[in-house]
Amino acid sequence: MAETDRARARDLGIAVGSLSPGEHNAITDVAGVRVGHTTLIEGSDIRTGVTAIVHDRLTGLTALNAGLAVGNGFGKIVGTTQVSELGVIETPVLLTGTLNTFRVADALVSYMLALPGNEKLETVNPVVAETNDGFLSDLRRRPVTEQHVLAALHGAAAGPVAEGAVGAGTGTGALGFKGGIGTSSRLVELRERGEPVTIGALVQTNFGGTLTVLGTPVPPEADLRQAEPAGNSCVIVLATDAALDSRQLRRVARRTFTGMARAGSNFHGHSGDYALAFSTTPVPGEAGRETFVPVENDLNLLFDAAIDATEESVLNSIFMAETTAGRDGHVLPAVSLDRIRELVSGRSGSRSAS
């Protein structure tokens, strides 16, 4: 059975990299970013939900610079071609289960059209990503409704973010254990800037491999081992207040897959691995005000931050998730935190960024 008290990586003395996290060690440490969840549990065969990443400039009439990286394209993500073409996102980013994607996208369009000021809006590019939660949830029922989507959007808040088996992570599994939603952040000192910039990650984990904690493999114990669930995907959303253009954001997004690899992903072919990065700070010329723009060498620091925040987010998604049973009697076990403590005791509690 699951341990009743779950803990984040840092609560267990596990710090990934040498950079400091933000106040909440979450994507919401980037000012203006909010996260909301709708968790949907019904009977024995519905374990799914919606997670919304929201910012006030994502109105359809205004947008944020964005960049997309694809690790493996076996997924049903909506809205990516326009993001790649124009280098911006104009709606909140929503995460859900595979066959809910299109209902969520339709609900997001309705939400955008109803926003004050959008009475004449005739086109909008909803961004919705997914992973396959069919091991625990009946995909064919497609239970997510517009009301569930609106609840996640309207409930989005700053501050601490619920993790584990919540929202879009309700039915997902990763690295042999129950996975879900995880988040983390890093503060980065850039040259000639008076204060650090923040970069935050939020992940929806649902991929195979061997859980690896600071380089130590943590395979499932023999009595918990089972067939790998269908799916094997991961969605990574990065937010930063560094003034990056879409090309730079693509470069940062691409590095996040290294964080997945460090955590143990096997990157099998039936995997939809996507990373979407956006900046909340306009670059000069876009806002009519002076803004510090990181030079290319500064990106190395942001690369490190994105990798480390992604790796820690993956760990948090697993450490915070409780054992969950679902359809056809399937069970995804929570990783034993006592076992994690034992495995990492006696060695360094952190790993410097490389």
**Other Cβ atoms within 10 Å of 346 Cβ, number:** 6
Q: What angle do CA 178, 236, 35 make, to 5 degrees?
A: 85
Tokens for 335, please give them: 């990783």
The residues pairing with 301 across neighbouring beta strands, listed in sequence order, are: none
Catalytic residue IDs: 233, 271, 273
**Other Cβ atoms within 10 Å of 160 Cβ, number:** 13
CA–CA distance, 108 with 23 (Å, rounded to integer): 30
CA–CA distance, 202 with 28 (Å, rounded to integer): 9
Phi/psi at 150 (5° precision): -65, -35
3-state class of 233 per DSSP? strand
CA–CA distance, 71 with 334 (Å, rounded to integer): 26
CA–CA distance, 25 with 8 (Å, rounded to integer): 10
Asked whether 184 and 313 are in contact (CB, 8 A), the reply is yes
